[in-house]
Structure 1
């Protein structure tokens, strides 16, 4: 099988990730729920994971790294803490859009024909009552990367919060917390961790309320949940087994090098897109010549529904991709599409796999003429 669905979840993980999960399954008790070795081992690992992620994302205080099951929960927590109007964009995933829609006080900034959103357009949408800008770092459909540095500077100058969805960039691109109030990430994509892991990094001046309260392992006689971080936003037993795998994934990224990982995957994606651009009947989406992208290429083949293409690729060639709206409906509406076929690359993919995918698409395109 040729796995090219890494934007959904990375299938090929470094061996250390599986080893860390298995070791944790055999040795970890419940963190903060005992003074015995298994409980303390789990607690120490969680702290090491916070410190490691804080280093990766430039968080000043590791205790402001909060674990969640995924980026969706992190974004719900972060957005729920905003008062007033929210500015977001048509490039967002439903994990941003749906929590925003519930508030009934928002502006959605459109993108251009290549899926790009300008800082100027975001600035124009900010109102006197705006509480935050919420922006994805990279589109899960087009692969476009958005300028979170300039938007962060804009938000800082206007005195409003800036929430970043780093689901597609964490583990591929450098991300720093400068001028970011909340950075939301998931563990199972390019951070190379297991599913069911993710988190929320908070800046020094932002503290949303938890969506959940319950067991914390301490202050059990208090009627209110503890208010100090990270406990304030972490109720119940943590997924220590999964987070052990996430820690191993991040350590692998740090030892291998973020730039090297991105370069390998980006090179494959650009070669793939360049080869397809010469094939009649294939339409590509996004700013494919931008200097900085994540390794995602979305397309359609003339004469086929996106789901047909994905099914044929897997049935005839063993190529795994994603078809449909990719939980990003406004991207597809803006590009006037009912769906698209997404190829997303990992540094574990090879040039040979890329060439086979190009060949398979060329055969499909030739049959549609």
Structure 2
């Protein structure tokens, strides 16, 4: 294409954290520009958010339904190429369905929908529409996560035996939702978050990261979920045992009541020949461990890393890259597919971004985890059969 992609945003207006992240990431490579939005369910908030972003007032909408109707009627040289959905979980399905059926590509925050039934319905809509659907599992965009994946795929670790993935946070160690903290309020509300709290919010990230790096699929799981904070309706802590197809076993821990922790996502993978460790708070490093020689610390930006990591590296070694760059990397991959779709061409080979299928797996993970815990931490098949 000889122009930037045009996108609109649903949610993410004034005061929203994740909306700003998406706007920065989507525009970091100068391949896309924000031209429209329904930035809030409150029409006035949407309007002033459009002013913040210096948008044409005629393309700032009071609702996503109005946005879909007006934008679909735009001439080809003005209409949107894709939309970005950055609302709470219960408000994902409606706009995703409408915009896909109106002929637009879609980028959506995770988890993909409110429940598994919606996710499966949306999966069918995506396939029928033949549009691009990208889910923002951010951490798969990190260069050294891609290096870890390449090492596993090349057999450098040997057959995988053990996977340990942890995502502790501490920001919900008190009943923050009782204050005016909107991020806490919707994440702890079953009417907006869905069946799970911490497991839905960050446990899905942990499960997706483990699957992305190892290529392993869960066969069974055993979960113990707890709401430690009095009065909280959804889990704020979870411990899950995993069994994978092929014989590997794993442990997944996700918690938002670990006092003092910030965003300490980490992954350890152990095979017959070697192990590796990656930590989100130190994303530029990958530690590779051996039984008969010292551990190696691989660093992003060096000549010895593989092509996958090099392709996700933006600046020379020693200059730290992290969250925004990882986000931008998955956007950049999605743009390859969206640009091809807009041009009526076949999608490029070897695309590397999370899709609706990852979204369905995430909802299956939530469902199975909640079911196992309700049954007294009993093993359940994955996907769960209720």
Establish whether TM, by shorter chain, passes 0.5: no
Say which structure is richer in strand.
2
